């Protein structure tokens, strides 16, 4: 396969490059380092509906002009109207393309966009049908795909998302502290407002937008501010990262909580790339990765952290931290996607 025949689908929104999430942008950077060229669609959102429909339709038609017999890696899903997947199907048939879908989310499974659920069902089912290879998050997600008719032979296990970041020299301190980074909206992640009920021996550092200032009434909660994705790793320097979601501290409930049974949360990659050991929900798909690589602890309830911290000493923490640093280096270098692409190229 020649270098010129390998592409990744790059989406710009209203001509703003790198408008995607850090996860997508990191994957694009890794693919570029492997010799894939960007195939860019300039999607319009900020214009009148008729003009948007015309201009985006013309952009979708570019897919039909992809070089014959080329390979295209597609971030899945793309949050534009569902017609893009139809154009990918037509382009595949017209030019004998090899389509590799790199799953970021399966929204027919996540079910947080209820009003658009029919569209996401259609997009996901079409992806299963037209893909030559799929890069899935983990074994639990692969099992789900197989249950939905996808041949396991064309699915590659990513294992964990990479998190590209400069290798900064910093010290991670032993501390009985849980760090939470991300959207702190208590309407989305209701468990956050319940942190005040955790034993006060457990401290919390919170980073992100939509913080509820009323939580500062608790002496165990510190709000550190909001930072850009590339800046957050420099701020995380003590204790553990918490991988949790949903409405309760006792289990990960609701659509976002249940989704942890299947997905690779980017938050896990952030913590590990930052050098932090982690605490993760025991039923999460990535709990196996954490436990097998001795990167922290899997718990059923955040309350369980209290007993873990009571017996935790600096030597134990140091041993976990040394395991984390081995994985951290790989995440910062894009190791896991590079390995997945090697396997994909054998399949296609």
* 203 plus 292 within the same structural domain: yes
Residues 6+ apart with CB under 8 A from 163: 22, 26, 233, 266, 269, 270, 272, 273, 331, 332
Predicted confidence band of residue 16 (pLDDT cuts 50, 70, 90): low
The label of the residue with tokens 């703003």 reads 16
> What's the pLDDT score for residue 3?
43
- pTM value is 0.94
The answer on pLDDT for 1 being more than 60 is: no
Contact 313, 276 (CB under 8 A): no
The answer on pLDDT for 48 being more than 90 is: no
Q: Domain for residue 96, yes or no?
A: yes
Domain edge (last residue) among 79, 108, 131: 131
* 222 plus 296 within the same structural domain: yes
In this structure, the strands spanning 173-181 and 203-207 are parallel
* 177 plus 117 within the same structural domain: no
The answer on pLDDT for 81 being more than 90 is: no
**Region 3-30 average pLDDT:** 82
Q: Tokens in use for 263? A: 């997905």
Nearest to 295 by CA among 269, 274, 267, 276: 276
Nearest to 242 by CA among 258, 228, 260: 260
**Region 54-75 average pLDDT:** 94
CATH code (residue 109) = 3.40.50.2000
> What's the pLDDT score for residue 319?
98
* 214 plus 282 within the same structural domain: yes
Residue 63's alpha-carbon distances to 35, 89, 200, in angstroms, are 20, 10, 56
* 200 plus 288 within the same structural domain: yes
Nearest to 161 by CA among 344, 7, 29, 42: 29
* 323 plus 206 within the same structural domain: yes
At 184-215, the pLDDT tens digits run 999 889 999 999 999 999 999 999 999 999 99
C-alpha–C-alpha distance, residues 210 and 155, integer Å = 37
Strand partners, 31: none
Strand partners, 308: none
> What's the pLDDT score for residue 45?
84
Query: Could you list the residue range(s) of the whole structural domain that residue 16 is in?
Result: 3-131
At 222-265, the pLDDT tens digits run 999 999 988 999 999 999 999 999 999 999 999 999 999 999 99
Contact 110, 77 (CB under 8 A): no
Please, what sign has the CA dihedral across residues 166, 170, 174, 176? negative
Rg (C-alpha) for the chain, rounded Å, is 21
Predicted confidence band of residue 46 (pLDDT cuts 50, 70, 90): confident
Domain edge (last residue) among 65, 100, 131: 131
Q: How many CA atoms lie within 13 A of 344 on its CB side?
A: 27
Predicted confidence band of residue 291 (pLDDT cuts 50, 70, 90): very high
Domain edge (last residue) among 131, 157, 186: 131
Q: Label residue 51 exposed, middle or buried (CB < 10 Å: 0-12, 13-18, 19+).
A: exposed
Q: How many residues are recorded in the chain?
A: 348
| DSSP result, 51-67 | HHHHHHHHHHHGGGGSP
At 164-182, the pLDDT tens digits run 988 877 899 999 999 999 9
C-alpha–C-alpha distance, residues 308 and 311, integer Å = 6
At 99-155, the pLDDT tens digits run 999 999 999 999 888 888 999 999 999 999 999 999 999 999 999 999 999 999 999
């Amino acid at each position: 396969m020649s270098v010129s025949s390998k592409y990744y689908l790059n989406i710009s929104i209203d001509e703003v490059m790198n408008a995607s999430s850090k996860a997508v942008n990191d994957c694009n950077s890794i693919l570029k380092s492997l010799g894939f060229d960007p195939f860019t669609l300039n999607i319009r959102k900020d214009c009148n509906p008729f003009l948007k429909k015309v201009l985006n339709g013309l952009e979708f038609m570019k897919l039909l002009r992809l070089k014959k017999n080329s390979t295209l890696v597609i971030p899945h899903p793309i949050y534009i109207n569902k017609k893009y997947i139809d154009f990918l199907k037509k382009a595949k048939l017209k030019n004998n393309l090899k389509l590799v879908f790199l799953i970021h989310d399966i929204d027919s499974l996540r079910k947080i966009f209820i009003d658009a659920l029919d569209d996401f069902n259609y997009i996901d089912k079409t992806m299963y049908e037209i893909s030559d290879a799929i890069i899935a998050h983990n074994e639990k997600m692969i099992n789900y795909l197989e249950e939905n008719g996808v041949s396991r032979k064309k699915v590659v296990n990513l294992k964990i998302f990479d998190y590209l970041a400069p290798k900064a020299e910093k010290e991670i301190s032993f501390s009985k502290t849980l760090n939470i980074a991300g959207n702190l909206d208590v309407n989305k992640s209701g468990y956050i407002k319940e942190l005040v009920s955790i034993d006060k021996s457990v401290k919390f550092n919170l980073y992100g937008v939509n913080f509820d200032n009323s939580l500062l009434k608790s002496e165990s909660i510190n709000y550190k501010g909001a930072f850009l994705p590339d800046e957050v790793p420099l701020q995380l320097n003590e204790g553990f990262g918490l991988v949790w979601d949903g409405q309760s501290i006792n289990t990960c409930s609701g659509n976002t909580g249940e989704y942890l049974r299947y997905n690779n949360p980017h938050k896990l990659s952030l913590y590990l790339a930052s050098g932090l050991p982690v605490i993760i929900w025991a039923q999460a798909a990535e709990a196996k990765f954490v436990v097998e690589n001795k990167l922290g602890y899997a718990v059923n309830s955040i309350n369980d952290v209290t007993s873990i911290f009571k017996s935790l000493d600096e030597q134990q923490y140091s041993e976990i931290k040394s395991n984390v640093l081995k994985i951290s280096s790989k995440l910062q270098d894009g190791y896991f996607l590079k390995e997945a692409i090697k396997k994909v190229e054998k399949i296609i």
